[in-house]
Amino acid sequence: MKNKSSGFTLIELLVVISIIGLLSSIVVSSLNGARTKARAARRKADISQLKKAFELYLSNNGTYPIFGSAGFGNPLSVLSPQLVPNYMSTLPVDPKTGISYAWGWGPNAFEYSLYIPLEGEPACKSQTPNTYTTWWGPGIPLCNF
């Protein structure tokens, strides 16, 4: 009577492991693209939410919210006392970094801009290389989101 052991050979195990590794790398690479698209969708939703809050503020106060002197690159978080909780429950932050978006106003209280990086999309208006900017306010917007 032959002693026959059942099990997998080393070659069979290596082949299965390499196939699993290949499939998992394909899945992970496709998930990265989905994450980028999800962050872009979140940023566009943030733009829409902020635009509505700014417009409601304008309707109730006669000007857009301002803080300090006119200029660009201010953290949006400085507007928390003016916008939260009457116009927004919380101020949105960048979904990738968790850092406050930047904004600016000027030369008067009837113009403002919001700086939000849009991954994987062309810049609407670029102040410096790799700075993706979304603007709105009076007149024709440069970006429609």
As a whole number, mean pLDDT of residues 84-98 equals 89
For 13-66, how does the pLDDT look when each residue is reduced to its tens digit (9 = 90+)?
999 999 999 999 888 887 878 888 888 888 888 888 888 888 899 899 988 888
Q: CB atoms < 10 A from the CB of 67, how many?
A: 15
**Contact present, 95 and 101 (Cβ < 8 Å):** no
Kindly state the average pLDDT of the residues 90-112.
Answer: 80
Output the pTM of the full model.
0.66
Q: Which pLDDT does position 46 carry in this prediction?
A: 87
Furthest C-alpha separation in the chain = 97
